[in-house]
Amino acid sequence: MEDDRRQPDVVTCEAVAAWDPEPSVDDRALFLDLVSTELKPGQVERVLTPPVVYPTQRSIMALHWHPEFIPTALIRRRLEAAFPAATTELVVPTDHNVLRVWDGYAGVEVDCYSSGFKRKVQLLVHLHADKVEKAGVFKAMLRHTFGYRARQLLELVDTITHPVHNDRVDVAAAKTGVNPETVEFARYHVRKFRRLLEEFEDSIAPEVLKNRLLRDWMELQQLEYNPRLVSRALVFVSAVKNLVKADLNLDYFYRASNVIEEVRSLGGGIVVPHPEQFWPILLADYDVDGFEVWNPQSREYTDFLIYVVNRENHSRRHYSRPWLIFMGDDAHMSEKVRDPRVQDPHKLTREVGVQPPWEDPEISATLVAAGVTKEKVIAEYAARLA
């Protein structure tokens, strides 16, 4: 494109209307690179090379992490390089709504619906791998839910590009304070994105189709346009995304109670991820094995949540099993191989099996008071899954 479109941080609606709406050769190359799940040699090397080695750590617990399209054999080598002295481990992958198997276990992070407080919640499910062949009903439930992320992406694209949704667009523009020119700039690039989705739909891996893909596409426009202009467009697109998510059709999801019942019939374990879900799930009194009290996204109340779980365990002795305390690294392995220009710096630092609070002196005092160690949790939860 012409150099005079690189620098200005403002555009006019008339100028945008005059731009060629068809994706260019460069657009296609950029898009295909974004949706590719084939690893180049440099990307393989990034997967195999952990940024930090923990030479004295003897145990690995990782029950909330996402391999995504990264081969598990490469992830295994990364873990061996990061924890050379480890002798005990409980490692189970938990991709969103896709059951994955790893060294004798299978796991998934399930999106479901809590009728008690009318919102989407998530559950971590862990099974022995030999139960997978009997999990036909559970896998059918996951298939039903899996497609919602792709459908939400398409609804987001449709909302921005189709005039029938101008009311949502107007609300997003008002909330973010962007001008009509920024809206048209965003629409121009989302329309291109839509054309590319349609052109290559048969070759795109289903797990790639989620809202993050549109954000990455918009961020890469900074290669050609003024970053301030692209940044404002991203703020607008994010606001539209939030409106779309707020109107999410809950018919995509099974009730949490139905998911739990099916998992228990398979002898599986259930952990509540994300500490922000702690109180609703606790109050709903679902049949779960434990709670994640720390997550890279939610660090503020770890100490207090450990105390609450310990207190509840003492007050519910009539139950057969106490709640366990978990910590989730929530690592997304595809982040390691993304184009550095669109990497999420917060997700990039997450590592499978790395949960600093286990070694935090302040938190360890609360853990000791509760009689909890990582090794005890590994042993107890593995026994429950046996």
Domains and CATH numbers, the chain: 3-35+149-246 (no CATH), 41-135+268-385 (3.20.20)
* Confidence label for 161 from pLDDT (cuts 50, 70 and 90): very high
- Rounded-to-integer distance, Cα 34 and Cα 216, Å: 8
- Rounded-to-integer distance, Cα 357 and Cα 361, Å: 8
- Read off the pLDDT of residues 203-215 as tens digits, 9 standing for 90 and up: 999 999 999 999 9
pLDDT at 4 over 50: no
Q: What percent of the chain has pLDDT over 70?
A: 97
* Confidence label for 231 from pLDDT (cuts 50, 70 and 90): very high
Q: What percent of the chain has pLDDT over 90?
A: 77
Collapsing DSSP to helix, strand or coil, 298 comes out as strand
* Confidence label for 349 from pLDDT (cuts 50, 70 and 90): very high
pLDDT at 1 over 50: no
Strands (E), the chain: 59-62, 65-66, 88-91, 100-102, 105-114, 119-128, 269-272, 290-294, 324-327, 331-332
- Rounded-to-integer distance, Cα 22 and Cα 27, Å: 9
DSSP-assigned letter for residue 177:
T
Residue with the bigger pLDDT between 348 and 314: it is 348
The predicted structure's pLDDT at residue 101: 97
Residue bearing tokens 């890279």: 296
The mean pLDDT of the chain is 92
* Confidence label for 33 from pLDDT (cuts 50, 70 and 90): very high
Closest listed residue to residue 339, CA positions, set 76, 45, 66, 35: 35
Encoding tokens for residue 104?
A: 């004798």
- Rounded-to-integer distance, Cα 273 and Cα 140, Å: 22
- Read off the pLDDT of residues 182-192 as tens digits, 9 standing for 90 and up: 999 999 999 99
pLDDT at 2 over 70: no
- Read off the pLDDT of residues 317-336 as tens digits, 9 standing for 90 and up: 656 789 999 999 999 999 99
* Confidence label for 3 from pLDDT (cuts 50, 70 and 90): very low
DSSP 222-267: GGTS-HHHHHHHHHHHHHHHHHHHHT--GGGS-BHHHHHHHHHHTT
* Confidence label for 26 from pLDDT (cuts 50, 70 and 90): very high
Collapsing DSSP to helix, strand or coil, 68 comes out as coil
The predicted structure's pLDDT at residue 8: 66
122 and 110 Cβ atoms separated by less than 8 Å: yes
DSSP 185-199: HHHHHHHHHHHHHHH
Q: Which of 46-60, 216-230, 245-259, 364-378 has the highest mean pLDDT?
A: 46-60
Phi then psi for residue 72, to 5 deg, are -65, -25
pLDDT at 116 over 80: no
pLDDT at 250 over 90: no
Mean pLDDT on 40-58: 97
